[in-house]
Chain A
Amino acid sequence: MYKSSNSTCPSTFVIIFLIKDILPEEIQQQIVRETFHLVLKRDDNICNFLEGGSLIGGSDYKLIYRHYATLYFVFCVDSSESELGILDLIQVFVETLDKCFENVCELDLIFHMDKVHYILQEVVMGGMVLETNMNEIVAQMEAQNRLEKSEGGLSAAPARAVSAVKNINLPEIPRNINIGDLNIKVPNLSQFV
């Protein structure tokens, strides 16, 4: 699971849950909110672990984070993970992002949430670490991107042209161009039997 901060926060957070039980959505959101507050007020020269305590429903859970300029990567892990190992994993993840996005920056993560997810899914699966070898992850990502390209992608050439047009500030474009009602209404007939 991965959550990124909302637009009201000065820094961008990437929060990743590395736990085997899926938490309910409200609790996830609450953890995300509280994590901002907890992590933001921490100096750089203090340790990168935060004990969950009441926050994430148990002392079994910890927050482990790394800080890169305005970017925070926070992993929420249980006691089966090695703390220092996770710090290394964050490094692997960030370096992978850097390779996939070619010099990753904050905006990449903000605008390409889906791609970050896809990369993350090669690193972590169902709350467990899947792959730690960066070259392997990058190779798989590239293969999938090629596959997507061969299919024409989601926003193929025409859509791109359109988005260029859209960026010119046009006055309100009629949202619905009505080309007749294509729905065929079912006449009200008597009920069965």
Chain B
Amino acid sequence: MALKMVKGSIDRMFDKNLQDLVRGIRNHKEDEAKYISQCIDEIKQELKQDNIAVKANAVCKLTYLQMLGYDISWAAFNIIEVMSASKFTFKRIGYLAASQCFHEGTDVIMLTTNQIRKDLSSPSQYDTGVALTGLSCFVTPDLARDLANDIMTLMSHTKPYIRKKAVLIMYKVFLKYPESLRPAFPRLKEKLEDPDPGVQSAAVNVICELARRNPKNYLSLAPLFFKLMTSSTNNWVLIKIIKLFGALTPLEPRLGKKLIEPLTNLIHSTSAMSLLYECVNTVIAVLISLSSGMPNHSASIQLCVQKLRILIEDSDQNLKYLGLLAMSKILRTHPKSVQAHKDLVLQCLDDKDESIRLRALDLLYGMVSKKNLMEIVKKLMTHVDKAEGTTYRDELLTKIIDICSQSNYQHITNFEWYISILVELTRLEGTRHGHLIAAQMLDVAIRVKAIRKFAVSQMSALLDSAHLVASSTQRNGICEVLYAAAWICGEFSEHLQEPHQTLEAMLRPKVTTLPGHIQAVYVQNVVKLYASILQQKEQAAETEAAQEVTQLMVERLPQFVQSADLEVQERASCILQLVKHIQKLQAKDVPVAEEVSALFAGELNPVAPKAQKKVPVPEGLDLDAWINEPLSDSESEDEKPKAIFHDEEQRQAKPRQPEADEEELARRREARKQEQANNPFYIKSSPSPQKRYQDAPGVEHIPVVQIDLSVPLKVPGLPMSDQYVKLEEERRHRQRLEKDKRKKKKKEKQARRHSALHTESDEDIAPAQQVDIVTEEMPENALPSDEDDKDPNDPYRALDIDLDKPLADSEKLPVQKHRNAETSKSPEKEDVPVIEKKSKKPKKKEKKHKEKGREKGRKKEKKEKKPSKHKKKKHRKEQEERSADRKKSKKKQPAGGGAAEPVENGSLDEEPLPPMSSYCLLAENSYIRMTYEVQGSLQEDSRVTVSIVLENQSSSFLKNMELNVLDSLNTKLARPEGSSVHDGVPVPFQLPPGISNEAQFVFTIQSIAMAQKLKGTLTFIAKNDEGSTHEKLDFKLHFSCTSYLITTPCYSDAFAKLLESGDLSMSSIKVDGISMSFQNLLAKICFHHHFSVVERVNSCASMYSRSIQGHHVCLLVKKGEKSVSVDGKCSDSTLLSNLLEEMRATLATC
């Protein structure tokens, strides 16, 4: 041993400390990775030392490496060792490392529970503090559940330093273990008025954070916060509270009215910019929540806007940024007051700071109106040209499109202008957003019928302009617009001025360099174009021209047939065959145009993205039912070929005559009109002169709105959107003049209605084209959208808990090891199938059911469901964790072979275990019922903790409870210092009627080889209306040998070594008449006798446990036909034989 010490300290002299490590890394810049891997090797050596100082130093270095991004999870166990050091210096290092690298997946984290609990109750406030800080970073649901009670106690610690940390960490506990929120909330609320400002600030912090997620549950705290707001001088607290009010006001407008005054006072009085800014923000939130019709609040809006303008004009970029941010919030409800500052916002677009420019862009989005859209977009277009970085330019591009397309193109009065803007945007080099532009082009062309003609002319120009195709390889983003261009030209080919030219442009060899999906669209639309050209030529009786076009197709299509893209190839070869066939017919002078264009007959309407989902299931339709009974395989094979080749003969013949004759078409049109009339989602154009087109025959004459053109349709070359701006201004001017004239006439009649100031409002501007934006089609009887958009996985949802409801008895935080708790109070519970250790759950659920019965609020039911869902999830996870553990232990010894299967894995679901409880009845009378459980802990050897659940069964109030036992030589109750062996230990709580609570008592044990029984008495005063009486209840505490065992996991290799060491005595028992499955049997032994399964092979399992005094107990459990034999080995033979006898008793009941 001495040698080892010497070795340790000599070694240590040459260990690097953190500073050496940092220096070393800085000196090895060129081979940093190599140096670090060398350091890690050294650290691994150091971690093997017994000296805790060496280990701590190593862990400290690891923390640094972790920061640099190296994985140190392999040292998790060493970190725990350092955490449990007794010296603060080391402990702090350990917790720091843990807080940096532990996370929910770290498997050793469950070993820390007891250590953390010990540190939390440490007499040194800094040990506690360090544990709290560390825990705040790596708390898991299990840790939160097990430690919630300890942390709650710390919230009332005498030292404010601990109090504030305990308060703050509660938020993390709530997140991981939502059930703790209600029991802990009253105390948290108390802390809002803590004398220490730090604690108060922490409490405000936690409640604000909770309220931010689920504000409605915290409305009742508003008066308290209001008081704090008017009394506090701490700006931090004020900011938090004011932010909280911002979240609360939308739910309670009355609160907002109250807030306005103190907030405006603060705005006027404070010198702190941060506070001022938050006040303005909350005033804005208040104003948003109040109905905008309140005139007396315009002063507040003006004040806010004014203050924000000052911020934006400030030279400090931060204030400018925040000012813009807040401005955008006002914009949503009070756009008018913000629009007055348009100059300022446009000015910000020139700012050198990109964040500010982006904010200004956001603002512009909301500021546009019909009146200023063109002007703003023009300004943005100049910025697009100036912009250097592609990211900012792309951002501008998306913003332009967003601004124009917002709320169904509400602000666009001239779609020709918009199309020109889109076309201009295609000249952007290297943008990623080609598909966005393309989508806009398609959307506008499809939905705005009046614009199709113009759009087609522009798109054909695009197809013709070589620049897009030529550079398709390096700027693959922008060539996406060709997709739209090709489709539009094809689909609306009847509008093309020179279809032949466009056709040729689309068949150019260069097209084959485009991406596959674009080529595919090209091929498809070439045919559409071809069909309409054929139609034209045949009508004009130019048969030769028609044949020429066909010839062109036949010549050019093969280039697509050779494409590597499957889609292109397939479409091209189909179409090539079709065209060749047409060529033959043309040679015979058969008119074909009619039939070819019939291929593309019909109108495409935009369909709403949700339409499919909204189709209601008709009554009586069962989607899962078979329509026909499924056919047997042999039958279907016979059937199929028939169906496929059914119309073979007809295909040989010439293309089928379209069956629809003129009459039929008229009928169909009528039907469609009828359908549209009945369809509430189809916007009908108002009766207008264009309507008469609908009566004209022919599929091609789909109702198209005629445009009253005030601008030339065809702009030579690529269009200049600027021209439109001018033209538009002129047009508006004309319009205004006309209107004014009309108005003057009307004015006399309707003087009252027009008394308001006449400004040119949005409504006054009539769009240039009679535009009917076809709304997206929805199925008939579509259901109203009431979907819950909330993400069910939102972790904060679990915290949506009603806090005003009084606490129920069942709602208390689990105290130490409480998860085993289950009193066998009600026999009916025995039927509930649950899985081991989960026995707490049904108890809770059942209580909740009772509650539900009492208060039949629908809302409540909803709320109750959530936590149970949450539980299920957690439960599953636990199972997985457990099985993962087993797997690991299995891995270590592959000797088990293929026959070995992971214990408990999966089969848990098949065989529910009966409920198990380690709590058993201690004593009972008419007043009180006591159940207890004995547990040992490894930390303090020779000590066991007895947890006694006291349940008040009477209608009296029980107080001054005191527990006393008659100590034996072997077993003694740990009493407070200074009291004699005959004094009782007071129970630290009182019991109102019907309440139960748990108290813990510590006993010291000398020998654990034998079971013990101690006589004891509980004395208490029962107080009711008639008076109070002294009562007592005698009991016998039974310490079985099992209760000295602690469930300790053991790896199979360690287990084997233990058995080999040979100094264990052996004993065995055999129990007959066992009917229980082996699985459940093992679970039962694990639970009641505190064993853990080391390994399981078929119906044979090895198990391990350890006593509080360090005795190893090994078991081999074998299941025979109807019997079980248990062989045990233990370092103490008496203990073993007693244990086995206890086990026999347990097994006999199986």
Q: Does A67 contact B (CB under 8 A)?
A: no
Known contacts A84-B274, A154-B93; is A130 also within 8 Å of B165 by CB? Answer: yes
List 30 A-B pairs, Cβ < 8 Å. Answer: A1-B137, A4-B67, A7-B25, A7-B29, A22-B137, A45-B317, A45-B352, A46-B317, A46-B356, A47-B353, A47-B355, A80-B209, A82-B239, A110-B22, A113-B64, A126-B137, A128-B168, A128-B209, A130-B198, A131-B198, A132-B236, A152-B89, A154-B93, A155-B57, A163-B19, A163-B20, A176-B11, A179-B6, A189-B1061, A193-B1116
Stretch at the interface among B200-208, B283-291, B520-528: B200-208
Bound Cα distance from A155 to B56, whole angstroms: 10
Once A22-B137, A114-B60, A186-B1060 are accepted as A-B contacts, the answer to whether A175 and B14 lie under 8 Å apart by CB is: yes
A83's partner among B136, B322, B1129 (CB-CB below 8 A) is B322
Known contacts A20-B172, A192-B1102: does B17 contact A154 (CB below 8 Å)?
yes
Which B residues are in CB contact (< 8 Å) with A151?
87-89
- For A134-160 the 0/1 string (1 means CB < 8 A from B) is 001000100110011001111100110
Does A87 have its Cβ within 8 Å of any Cβ on chain B? yes
CB-CB < 8 A to A20: which residues of B?
171-172, 175, 209
- CA separation between A175 and B25, bound complex, in Å? 19
Interface check B321, CB cutoff 8 A = yes
| Shortest distance from the beta carbon of A178 to any chain B beta carbon, whole Å | 9
Interface residues of B in 119-141 (CB under 8 A from A): 124, 126, 132-133, 136-139
Task: Give the interface centre of A6, A173, A193 by most chain B CB atoms within 10 Å.
Answer: A193
Whether, in the assembled complex, B278 has its beta carbon less than 8 Å from a beta carbon of chain A, the answer is yes
- How many angstroms from the CA of A67 to the CA of B616 in the assembled complex? 60
Partner of B103, one of A2, A24, A80, A143: A24
Given A82-B277, A110-B22, A113-B67, are A126 and B168 also a contact pair (CB < 8 Å)?
yes
Is the pair A88, B14 in contact by a Cβ cutoff of 8 Å?
no
- Tell me the smallest distance from the CB of B1055 to a CB of chain A, in Å: 8
Q: What 1/0 flags go to B78-89 for Cβ under 8 Å of A?
A: 000000000111
Chain B window 1051-1087, contacts with chain A (Cβ cutoff 8 Å), 1 for yes, 0 for no: 0000011011110000000000000000000000000
Task: Flag if A189 contacts B1060 (CB, 8 Å).
Answer: yes
What residue in chain B is nearest A8 (Cβ atoms)? B29
* Contact among A46, A118, A180 for B353, CB-based, below 8 A: A46
From known contacts A46-B353, A84-B318, A192-B1129, infer whether A154 and B90 are also in contact, taking CB-CB under 8 Å.
yes
Select from chain A the residue with minimum beta-carbon distance to B10: A177
Interface string of B1106-1130 (1 = CB under 8 A from A): 0000000010100000000001010
In chain B between 1 and 36, which residues have their CB closer than 8 angstroms to a CB of chain A?
A: 3-4, 6-7, 10-14, 17-20, 22-23, 25-26, 29, 32
Per-position binary interface string of chain A over residues 86-115, scored 1 when its CB falls under 8 Å from any chain B CB and 0 otherwise:
011000000000000000000000111110
Q: Is the interface on chain B under 10, 10 to 19, 20 to 34, or 35 or more residues?
A: 35 or more
How many angstroms between the C-alpha atoms of A1 and B42 in the bound complex? 26
Give bound CA distance, A143 to B124, whole Å: 12
A152: chain B residues within 8 A (beta carbon) = 89
Q: Tell whether A82 pairs with B355 under 8 Å between CB atoms, given A148-B89, A151-B88.
A: no
Q: Which of B249-280 contact A (CB under 8 A)?
A: 273-274, 277-278
CB distance from B18 to the nearest CB of A (A): 6
- Does any Cβ of B come within 8 Å of A190's Cβ? yes
What's the minimum C-beta distance from A123 to chain B, rounded to whole angstroms? 11
Q: Tell me the minimal C-beta distance from A181 to chain B in angstroms.
A: 11
List CB contacts (< 8 Å) of A24-82 with chain B. Answer: 24-25, 29, 43, 45-51, 80, 82
List chain B residues, Cβ under 8 A from A155. 17, 57
Task: Report if B92 contacts A (CB, 8 A).
Answer: yes
A114 engages B63 (CB within 8 Å) = yes
Q: Which residues of A contact B1056 (CB under 8 A)?
A: 191-192
Residue interface bits B764-801, CB-to-A below 8 A is 1, else 0:
00000000000000000000000000000001000000
Q: Say whether B3 contacts A180, CB under 8 Å.
A: yes
Output the least CB separation between B1037 and chain A (Å): 35
Residues 997-1041 (chain B) with a chain A CB within 8 angstroms = none
State which of B7, B136, B352 has its C-beta within 8 Å of the C-beta of A179: B7
Q: Tell me if A182 and B3 are in contact (CB < 8 A).
A: yes
The answer to the question of B100 belonging to the interface, with a C-beta cut-off of 8 Å to chain A, is yes
Residues of B within 8 A of A11 (CB): none
A185 CB to nearest B CB, Å: 11
The answer to whether A189 and B22 touch across the interface, beta carbons within 8 angstroms, is no
B161 part of interface (Cβ distance < 8 Å): yes
Q: Interface residues of B: mostly helix, strand, loop or mixed? A: helix
The answer to whether B1060 and A188 have CB atoms under 8 Å apart is yes
Q: How far is the CA of A40 from the CA of B1057 in the complex (A)?
A: 58
Q: Closest 10 A-B residue pairs measured CB to CB?
A: A126-B136, A84-B274, A46-B353, A192-B1059, A47-B317, A189-B1060, A47-B321, A162-B13, A29-B69, A148-B89
Tell whether A154 pairs with B57 under 8 Å between CB atoms, given A43-B352, A84-B274. Answer: yes
B209 and A49: CB pair below 8 A?
no
**Number of A-B residue pairs having CB atoms within 8 Å of each other in the complex:** 214
Residues of chain A with a CB closer than 8 A to B273's CB: 84
Closest to A152 in B: B89
Check B68–A6 contact: CB distance below 8 A. Answer: yes
The answer to whether A186 and B90 touch (CB under 8 A), given A47-B353, A126-B137, is no
Closest to B235 in A: A85
Contact between B60 and A148, CB atoms less than 8 A apart:
no
7 further contact pairs, Cβ within 8 A, besides A80-B209, A111-B23, A154-B89: A46-B353, A113-B63, A130-B164, A151-B87, A155-B57, A166-B20, A192-B1114
Q: Shortest CB–CB separation between residue B75 and chain A, in angstroms?
A: 14
Interface centre among A143, A159, A187 (most CB of B within 10 A): A159
Nearest chain A CB to B929 CB, angstrom units: 40
Asked if B355 contacts A51 (CB within 8 A), the reply is: yes
Cα A47 to Cα B1062 in complex, Å, equals: 73
* Residue from B26, B355, B1127 within 8 A of A46 (CB atoms): B355
**Interface assignment of B216: CB less than 8 Å from any CB of chain A:** no
Query: B247's closest neighbor in chain A, by CB?
Result: A80
Enumerate chain A residues within 8 angstroms of B161, measured Cβ to Cβ. 140
Q: Are B198 and A133 in contact (CB under 8 A)?
A: yes
Q: Which residue of A lies closest to B205 (CB)?
A: A128
- The distance in angstroms between the C-alpha atoms of A154 and B243, with both chains bound, is 44
Whether B175 and A182, one on each chain, are in contact in the complex, defined by CB atoms closer than 8 angstroms, is no
Q: Which of B56, B164, B212 contacts A80 (CB 8 A)?
A: B212
B243 touches A82 (CB 8 A): yes
Tell me, rounded to whole Å, the shortest Cβ–Cβ distance linking B138 to chain A.
8
Rounded to whole Å, the gap between the CB of A22 and the closest CB of chain B is 6
Q: Verify A84–B322 contact, CB threshold 8 A.
A: yes
Give CA–CA (A8, B28) in the complex, Å.
11
In the complex the two chains form, what is the Cα distance from A180 to B4 in whole Å?
10
CA distance A128 to B212 in the complex (A): 14
Q: Does B96 contact A (CB under 8 A)?
A: yes
- Looking at the assembled complex, report how far the CB atom of A116 sits from the nearest CB atom of chain B, in whole angstroms: 11
B320 within 8 A of A: yes
Q: CB of B169 within 8 A of chain A?
A: yes
Q: Which residue of B lies closest to A126 (CB)?
A: B136
The answer to whether A192 touches B1116 (Cβ under 8 A) is yes
Q: Report if A117-B205 is in contact (Cβ < 8 Å); known contacts: A125-B133, A192-B1102.
A: no
Asked if B352 and A46 make an inter-chain contact with CB atoms under 8 angstroms apart, the answer reads: yes
A189: chain B residues at CB < 8 Å are 1060-1062
In the complex, which residues of chain B have a beta carbon less than 8 angstroms from the beta carbon of A163? Answer: 17, 19-20
The answer, yes or no, to whether B53 is at the interface (CB within 8 Å) is: yes
Q: Residue among B10, B138, B206, B209 with the most chain A CB within 10 A?
A: B209
Bound Cα distance from A112 to B197, whole angstroms: 30
Nearest A-chain residue to B69, judged by Cβ: A29
Nearest residue (CB) in A for B135 is A126
Cα distance, A145 to B1061, chains bound together (Å): 47
- B14:A166 contact, CB within 8 angstroms: yes
Docked Cα-Cα span, A180 to B18, in Å, equals 29
Given the complex of chains A and B, what is the CA–CA distance between A136 and B202 in angstroms?
14
With CB as the reference atom, state the residue of chain A lying closest to B86: A151
Q: Give the CA-CA distance A154 to B19 in the complex, in Å.
A: 12
Give bound CA distance, A192 to B1130, whole Å: 13
Nearest-neighbour CB distance to chain B for A113, whole angstroms, equals 5
B126 engages A49 (CB within 8 Å): no
